Each structure stands twice: as structure tokens, then as C-alpha cells.
Structure 1
């Protein structure tokens, strides 16, 4: 079967000679297919180029938003850290002033008035005013900071010091997770598990006094760290040989066991 043909005539403007070309219809079919393929390919390329451009724009927006979120997260972390520090500072102040469980504003104001002269005047930077005792050197204040006389936990004495019963410390009954405070400034000599005493912290106050805090739930300090009087060092727990949540607290002076209640300022 013979194929069909088209006759293409070309008539020049300045010549009478007419040029004729005989073209098979298959070529026109192929040309149509080629044009369709070109149009589809061009459309596909344009579509993908637009999508890639849109993706790049969104990526830049996401990258900028992510950078802002990272910055905001850092700001939040700093704010949370400051809040935690303020909470710890408030507890230390309340514990030292004896207002941890006091809600009477008149009593609190009275306690604050008693401690009003704890501020060091600028003209007496090396001394501290102590009421009727007159001006005391800063060295004396530092010495007092290292004496373990702050109550280590807000609780009830459940077992007293007794050499006869071989109970060489004081037990304070308290709620699990309640904060435990350093009774004086010093250096942490031990922070970890200690057999029947469970989680224990030992503080050397560098003046002959050594205090220990046992049966803790959490330890919030480490060996070798310097801690301040009233600083939170752990929480009340029930670890070791213990039948109920409590703090076992001991004081030794030059190696001799002392009754902790003789030192605590209630």
C-alpha cells in the first residue's frame, strides 16, 4: 500500500519558477508528535522549576524561623535558670531567717528587722555590724559562716542523739523530696552511696567541724565542691537502711560526735 503525500509549492517573488516538494504524510505525523513532546517537556520543566523555586523560598523561611526558635529556646533556658536560681536563693534566705514555714507577715517583718544590719556599709567594707556587739571584722563573719548551726531540713525531730543507744546523730522526719540544706559553709568531702546510710553527703567546714546528711533521695552537689550555708545540697529520701523518709544528720568536732541539736538555731 502506497503512502499518502503532500505537495509543497514554493513560489519565489522574483521568479516564475515554482519549486515543488513531495512530502510523505508520515513526516507531518512525526512533526506533530515531536511538537507535542516539546510542549509537554517544556511544561514539565517549567512546573518543576516553579516548584523548586517555591521550595527554596519556603526553605529560607523555615531556616529563618528555625534560627529564631533556637534563639528563643536559648532565652527560655536562661530565664528558667534564673528562676531556679531565684527559687534556691529564696529558700536559702527563708531558711537562714527562720521563715521557711512562717506565714505570719508580722513575725517575718520582725525577723527581717533583726537581720537588717547584715548589709555591709560602703565605708566599713571590711567589717560587719552585729547590733550591740559593735563592729566585727569580716574574718569573724566568715568564721561564723563555717559553723554548722542552720537547721538542715524543715521537719520534726524523730530520733535524738544518744551515745547510750549508739545513735550518734539526729533524725528529722520530713516529706520525700523536701530540700536538705548545708548547715554551714564548707567543702564536700563525700557525695554518694554509703552502705546502710544510703545516699550521703559529708561536708568539711574547715574549722574542725564535719557534718553528714544521710538517707537522701537525690544528691545535688559533688565531691570537692564548695557549698554555702543554707545552700540546697540534696532532698529527703528513704535510701539505705531506713524504714521511712527522714534525714540522718551528724556533727563531729575534731573527730568527736556532737549532739546536733546543741548547734541548731531553731
Structure 2
């Protein structure tokens, strides 16, 4: 049927319904040798009404060019899609990096705050160790460090994460070491305290009254004579009637007026330590009474040689006045 149709197109004569196949084959072979393609358009009666001739070279060129254009279009489309995906991934990576940068800044601030608290605990533990007589190995310099983490938005997430992990491992290791040192020191203080509890209760480590320091343990100008004299205690300025607490356990050995000191209270804490409280308004304990650390013993006044309400507080060690701040633990005040 195919050959029959081709032969009809080529106008090969048929005889009694039979096609002259040899003539058809010859016609096809002759068309192959030509440099043109013939295109015929038939009408409804299967008769050719139009005929076109196209050079084979032109047809091949058109087909080749069309194929190249299609392949190029597919390539460019693929490249465009890949670039779009790459840009999307880059934007996603930049977003992640921004989040990671914010996280590491939060971590850095938290780590610095934690280290500052550790330093405070270390200082307090050192004071406690000195107070209870525990061995103090000294301050260990375990500071924060680590590499500078890049904030480049184009940096790869893997590189950024590696820097972040390295930084965190380094700092966490140092903070952990510092916390262990503070823990060891506090454990040593605790063990020493348990063995020296009674003795520690007799150390005047408590500030006897709430107020502010008006004068310290030093030379000063006498408020009455104007002469330079040595002040043997602390002047704690506060309101009239402010409670005065025992800074350590002991026995009341003196209670009454004492010249320029006005109403004065004396407590013996043992081990050669005696504390004195002057310019009081009234007493809350009796002579010979045993008091515990933190007990209310008197009230602030302005009796004796005084310019206004305040507590004059002295500490004596083996009958010699010493600086009360040597025993007072900072930030520990009466309830």
C-alpha cells in the first residue's frame, strides 16, 4: 500500500489495477540523485495542483539549525534552573549563617556572664578560705578565648559550623575547668569549716549594723579638736535606733557608760578577740550573757562624744586594736 501510494504521488501508470513496480523503483532512485525535494499538493480529486521544489541542502540546514536551537534552548533552560536553585541555596545558607551568628553572639554573652559569675564565686571562695584557714591554691587564670568566628555571609555553613563548634568546645572546656577549681576550693572550705565551726562562730565576720562608712581605721582629723589623730575603729553612720547585732558568738563582758564613748558594750569572743560598740542609745543584753552571731545586742545612738547618730565599732586582737575590715566578709550584713 505504501509503495502504491508513493507511485500514485509520482504519477506512475497502473494497468488493470496493477502497479508498474519497476517504473516506481526507478523513479524513486532518480529522486534520490536529485538535489531537490519535490512537494506536491493535491486537490480533492487526487490531482496535483501545486508543486514546490526545495533544495536538499536548505532543508538539511534548516533541520540542523532547528536542532541546534532546540538543544541550545534546552541547555539554557537547564542552566537557568540550576542557577535559580543555586541562588536559592545560597540565600538559605546566608539565612542560616545569620541565625548562627546571632546564636554565637548570644552564646558569647552568656559565656562571659557565666565567667564573671565564676570569678565572683572564686573571689568569695578565696575570702572564705582565708577566713576559715583553708589552703588556697591561688587564683587560676582560666580565661575565655578561641578563634574569631567569621561573619561572612558567603561563608559555607560547614566552615561556619566548624568554627563555631571549635570555639564552643574551647570555651566550654575552660569554663568547665574553672568551675571545677571553684568547686574544689569550696569543698576544701566546707571541710575546714566543719572542723573549725566553733572557732569560726567566734570570728567577727558580720557587719554589726546597716549603714554607710563615715570613717575608717586610719588617721583622720578629729571632728572636735581638728587635730590629726588615729581612729581605731569604724564609724557606721545610720539612723538613731538602728539595731546592732553581734558579729560573732561570745560573752558580754562590759555594759555601761565609758566617758567619750557614751553607752558602750563589750563582747569577748575568745581566742584573744574582743569587740566594742560605742555611742549606743540602749542595750538589749546583760553583762555576763552569752550571745550568738547575729543576736540583737543594742541600738544605735549618739551618746558620749559624738556629732550625730552612728555606731563606733572596734575589734581588738590580744588587747591591740586591729582593722575590723580584716574580719568582715563583704556583702554579708545582718538580717
TM value normalised by structure 1: 0.50
The structure with higher relative contact order (CA 8 Å, sep 6+) is 1
Greater fraction helix: 2
TM value normalised by structure 2: 0.40
